Amino acid sequence: AKLPILEFPDERLRTKAAPVETVDDEVRKLVDDMLETMYDARGIGLAATQIDVHRRVVVMDVSDDNSQPLVLINPRYTPIGDEKEPLSEGCLSIPDYYAEVPRFLKVQLNALDRNGDAYELEAEGLLAHCIQHEYDHLEGVLFVDYLSPLKRNRILKKMQKRHKQIQDA
Ligand X SMILES: O=C(O)C[C@@H](Cc1ccccc1)C(=O)SCC(=O)c1ccccc1
Q: How far apart are CA 152 and CA 101, in angstroms?
A: 13
Contacted by 90, from ligand X, Zn ion, none: CB < 5 to 8 Å by type: ligand X
Give 85's strand partners.
103
3-state SS of the chain: helix, strand, coil percent to 5?
Answer: 35, 25, 35
Should residue 91 be labelled a site residue for Zn ion when binding is judged by CB under 5 A? yes
Residue 39 carries which side chain, given as an amino acid letter?
A: Y
Should residue 93 be labelled a site residue for ligand X when binding is judged by CB under 6 A? yes
CB of 132 to ligand X, least distance (A): 8
Q: How far apart are CA 49 and CA 133, in angstroms?
A: 12
Should residue 70 be labelled a site residue for ligand X when binding is judged by CB under 6 A? no
Task: Return the number of the residue (38 or 91) whose C-beta is nearest Zn ion.
Answer: 91
Contacted by 71, from ligand X, Zn ion, none: CB < 5 to 8 Å by type: none
**Known catalytic residue: 134?**
yes
Kindly tell me the sign of the dihedral angle through the C-alpha atoms of 119, 122, 125, 131.
positive
Q: How far apart are CA 93 and CA 115, in angstroms?
A: 28
Residue of 69, 79, 90, 140 that binds ligand X (CB under 6 A): 90
Should residue 46 be labelled a site residue for ligand X when binding is judged by CB under 6 A? yes
Residue of 30, 71, 89, 159 that binds ligand X (CB under 6 A): 89
Should residue 58 be labelled a site residue for Zn ion when binding is judged by CB under 5 A? no
Specify whether the CB–CB gap between 58 and 45 falls below 8 A.
yes
* Total chain residues near ligand X (CB under 6 A): 15
Which of these ranges, 83-91, 104-112, 117-125, 153-161, lies near Zn ion under the rule CB under 5 A?
Answer: 83-91
| Residues composing the chain | 169
At 150 the three-state DSSP class reads helix
Task: Return the number of the residue (33 or 89) whose C-beta is nearest ligand X.
Answer: 89
Residues that bind Zn ion (CB under 5 A): 91
